Amino acid sequence: MQPSVKEVNQEVHQRRWLIFTVLNIFTFMATLDASIVNIALPTISKQLGLAFASSQWIVISYLLTICTVILFFGKLGDMFGKINVFKWGSILFIIGSFLCGLSTSLSLLVISRIIQAFGAAMTMANSQGIVTEIFPVKERGKALGLIGTFVSLGSITGPSLGGIIISSLGWEYIFWINIPIGFIAIALAWKILPKDVTITKTKIDVAGSLLFSFAIILSIGGLLLGQQYGYSNWYIITSIIIGILTFISFIIVEYRKESPMLELSIFKNPLFSISIFCAFIVFIANFCFNILSPFYTQDILGMSALHSGYILMLFPITMAIVAPLSGALSDRISGQAITFAGLLVMIVAQIGLTFLHEGSTLTSLALWIIMLGASTGLFQSPNNSLIMSTVERKQLGIAGSINSLVRNLGMVVGISVATSILFSVMSMKAGYRVTALIPGRPDIFLSGMHVVFLVSSSLCFVGLLLTGWRYMTSRKVVAKKVRNAS
């Protein structure tokens, strides 16, 4: 017999923050492993004898797998219990991490990364739903905001932490460091996580799962390959077109299904849809910065990898301070107003980055990085709360997995957008195809970087307009209800 919601709430109330900590250990590690590998690619390529283009699949395979299966595991969480899926995902993630460190070839490492990504997707897809279930409404914004902090800490801390680990221990340990931490978290999870209460009886949507997987692999895979080999390649163009058509077929199938993997009705809620879209935009903008900032600090300003890591750490440090505060604040005042303020500050920071040049001072660079971290902290916490508080309890699993999918898609698209624009502008300036920095020509790189940040600030402006419209609309609805009541 399943315990009642009331019984479970009483059981977990006193230890909800301990449960939250266990969940976010895996949130941090899963997100960290999406970015920490980038800085290790030169070392891995040298030791395994890989071409640089081939080594990119170590990163691509992880992100692509998460994007492909995360909705499926969100649905699975609704069907068989979010906590059950989370637990087994944490074990799979640790197994994958162990195998990654043992890999002696590209094929073994990619397979291990895929195993690791399956586990990461299982935890990512269900952690937000679990938090929404175990926290009372008055603390939900703070808790979901802290998840945003762990996510961004993981994604932004990767390069600096990876550099320290590689220089002192070796590339294998960027994966093996997950094992002792993961074992402690797993032991705690089995001891303190409560039994699942909200379980939906439905069938697995096989057709929808397959169509979505193919759509992601073909379209996103095509975009990622395009940035390496150019978008004039007909195989890449065909892959992207087929991927888009497959996604359209997926939408049609899901619309007609009685028990779809993705309940499209969830997007009828404008608050949910706009919040998800704005989250997507913010992750694109942040990863435009994330992918270009190491090149700027090291190749243009001439900083060492260690010192570059130190100054880039201002982003996660600032966000770690601001995000919990904005989350707690969103429990008291309108989260929509706070997300609007966050996007406004983000636009200013992104535009500020376009003024950076070869002779910029560390003070000016630090200012824009701190503003970017603060704006992300302001935005993420209340936006996560808005996303998860606008859906029914039985949809928490799929809502959390959609949020995580959007986050990972934002990372992938941000990397693709940044590098594609950067190299396109650099190629136009140089007069020939460019796919790397040109020695002695910082002006060409800076031209491309400035265009990238102008594009990312424009995307944030679109999010600002949507958020402003959403805020004004909700205020009118509230005012109308007050008038009718009186």
Selection from 47-56, 101-110, 268-277 with the highest mean pLDDT: 101-110
Instruction: Look up the pTM and report it.
Output: 0.76
217 to 223, 257, 311, 365, 459: CA distances (angstroms)? 10, 23, 35, 37, 25
The C-alpha atoms of residue 435 and residue 440 are separated, in whole angstroms, by 15
Sorted by where each begins, the domain ranges of the chain are 5-204+261-485, 205-260
pLDDT classification of 130: cutoffs 50, 70, 90: confident
How would you class 433 by CB atoms within 10 Å of its CB: exposed for 0-12, middle for 13-18, buried for 19 or more? exposed
Please state the three-class secondary structure of 349-404 as a single string: HHHHHCCCCCCCCHHHHHHHHHHHHHHHHHHHHHHHHHHHHCCCHHHHHHHHHHHH
CA proximity to 353, closest of 289, 423, 418, 280: 289
Q: What is the CATH number of domain 5-204+261-485?
A: 1.20.1250.20
Question: Lowest mean pLDDT: which of 231-240, 283-292, 394-403, 452-461?
Answer: 394-403
Q: What average pLDDT score do residues 279-299 get?
A: 84
- Which of the two residues, 152 and 317, has the higher pLDDT score? 317
Q: What average pLDDT score do residues 455-475 get?
A: 87
pLDDT value of residue 1: 47
Is pLDDT of 456 > 90?
A: yes
CA proximity to 315, closest of 287, 355, 348: 287
The C-alpha atoms of residue 452 and residue 450 are separated, in whole angstroms, by 5
Question: Lowest mean pLDDT: which of 90-99, 154-163, 359-368?
Answer: 154-163
Quick: pLDDT tens for 183-193: 888 888 787 77
Q: Do 266 and 371 touch, CB atoms closer than 8 A?
A: no
pLDDT value of residue 222: 82
Percent pLDDT > 70 in the chain is 83
Average pLDDT, the chain: 80
Q: Do 126 and 86 touch, CB atoms closer than 8 A?
A: yes
Quick: pLDDT tens for 347-403: 999 999 999 988 889 999 999 999 998 998 888 878 877 777 777 766 666 676 677
Is pLDDT of 417 > 50?
A: yes
Q: Do 464 and 340 touch, CB atoms closer than 8 A?
A: yes
Is pLDDT of 29 > 50?
A: yes
pLDDT value of residue 53: 54
Quick: pLDDT tens for 222-233: 877 776 676 777
How would you class 388 by CB atoms within 10 Å of its CB: exposed for 0-12, middle for 13-18, buried for 19 or more? buried
pLDDT value of residue 458: 94
Question: Lowest mean pLDDT: which of 247-256, 270-279, 426-435, 473-482?
Answer: 473-482
Is pLDDT of 31 > 80?
A: no
The C-alpha atoms of residue 166 and residue 440 are separated, in whole angstroms, by 28
CA proximity to 156, closest of 337, 43, 294: 294
pLDDT value of residue 233: 79
pLDDT value of residue 464: 92
What six digits make up the tokens of 112? 């291990």
